[in-house]
Structure 1
């Protein structure tokens, strides 16, 4: 609290939820008394939204029957949801295609590959601030080649 002539000030340098409530300034002299009231509400700062950012995937060439793992770092706020696509079609969870997050890394594990798995694989990250995606070519060579 400070007073400078006719100016009186209450300064709260850091406000927390427990500081909420009514504050009163009572000014009195020999003639009388005046009471001023102010209500303080403390709101939590909103976390800034950040559109997703995603690291590039790299093209992969493997032999039929081998497994392959695609992974990419995903950031954003709020944390983006991640979906994987093959040739534009959403990949459903199955025993052959496992999709999961390891911290900020989105992972697609393909346990066993066939030549027909050849195609463009895309990782798409989406949150309320936007969307980002990256793609890579998977080439599966037939054992007969």
Structure 2
């Protein structure tokens, strides 16, 4: 699957279901998106066009509000700072841990969340594991990584989802992990 590796682009693939969610779209996200499925017998391709209307095209009754929005969105104000360079020179560390999910009934949604530092490290990779093996991202398994916040939602839990879930954060200097148990019951 070729897509931009970014927390705003969330691909999903499970059985015969494929999707790409774009969170917080921007004008530069406009274009044609193509999904290509390939196997030894051939391929299937589908495309969709996305048009994004920029905020500046929106009308507001309060000109001061629009000026404040433009000020916040002005990327030229954000210069790379020395403290930022220093901050990303540390190995990942979870500053809050996952919590066990032991009282869920089958069919409910399990929600794991934690916080990891450094939050500004563009090389930080977050991976979710179940019983030591990578999980398959799909419509039931929905990971999120946004500015130090990591989460995993498991929609419509079933008995096979029971186990130990681990979130691993890795950069060029090392890694850290946090784990929790998911235990569901039929009652």
In the superposition, the TM-score normalised over structure 2's length comes to 0.50
Instruction: Give the 3-state SS of the residue equivalent to 2:98 in structure 1.
Output: coil
| Number of equivalent positions | 100
For 2:155, the equivalent position in structure 1 comes to 111
1:131 Cα deviation from its structure 2 partner: 0.2
Pairing partner for 1:52 from 75, 92, 95: 92
Q: Judge conservation of contact 1:78–1:128 (CA < 8 Å) in 2.
A: no
- Answering whether residue 139 of structure 2 is matched by residue 99 of structure 1, we say no
Q: Which runs of 5+ in 2 are unaligned?
A: 1-80
Instruction: Give the 3-state SS of the residue equivalent to 2:91 in structure 1.
Output: strand
For 1:128, the equivalent position in structure 2 comes to 172
Structure whose CA Rg is larger: 1
For 2:5, the equivalent position in structure 1 comes to none
Q: Distance in 1 between matches of 2:159 and 2:152?
A: 18
Higher relative contact order, chain-length normalized (CA < 8 Å, sep 6+): 1
1:142 Cα deviation from its structure 2 partner: 1.8
RMSD of aligned Cα (Å): 1.8
Q: Which runs of 5+ in 1 are unaligned?
A: 1-43
Instruction: Give the 3-state SS of the residue equivalent to 2:160 in structure 1.
Output: helix
Q: Distance in 1 between matches of 2:115 and 2:125?
A: 12
In the superposition, the TM-score normalised over structure 1's length comes to 0.64
